[in-house]
Amino acid sequence: MFLIGGALFLAAGCRPSEERDPLPTILDCPSEGLPPCTRPVLPEDLLAGCAGESARSLSAYEELAPDMSFEEVCRQAGLPAWETGSGLTIFIYPLEDGSEVWLGFPGVSGGLLYALHVERDGTQTALFPMD
């Protein structure tokens, strides 16, 4: 606060003009070797057709195919638990056995580039052939 010529002025940054959504919190990824993760923050229009819960069994991911849209994947597998990546968007789905499925997209508007099943020991298996 400043007192100028008997008038009281508040510095512009002291009070927000409107409430804003908090930024996603950067967290350590559950998997070794990945950049920091965030909880996914996705546009509302992408969420409308998503499965109610994230699939926790590998069988739900076995029908994934290259170039599937995020909407198609989300209808089949639900929302990812984590988002990471550096250049690509990698969505991480933890499975009930402690392994994970990593899905790589060029962004939520691009098609699925790869799908990996990552065992707890770090062993990776592609869920469909990658070029």
- Residues 61-102 have pLDDT tens digits of 999 999 999 999 999 999 999 998 888 999 999 999 989 999
| Residue 100 belongs to some domain of the structure | yes
| Residue 122 belongs to some domain of the structure | yes
| Residue 50 belongs to some domain of the structure | yes
Sign of torsion, CA 10 14 15 20?
positive
Report pLDDT for 46.
Answer: 77
99-117 pLDDT tens trace = 999 999 998 889 999 999 9
| Residue 63 belongs to some domain of the structure | yes
| Residue 8 belongs to some domain of the structure | no
| Residue 117 belongs to some domain of the structure | yes
Q: How confident is the model at residue 30 (pLDDT cuts 50, 70, 90)?
A: low
Report pLDDT for 52.
Answer: 78
Residue 73: exposure state from Cβ atoms within 10 A (0-12, 13-18, ≥19): buried
Task: Say if residues 127 and 115 touch (Cβ distance below 8 Å).
Answer: yes
| Residue 1 belongs to some domain of the structure | no
Structural domains in the chain (count): 1
| Residue 17 belongs to some domain of the structure | no
Q: pTM value?
A: 0.72
Boundaries of domain holding 33: 25-126
Report pLDDT for 40.
Answer: 84
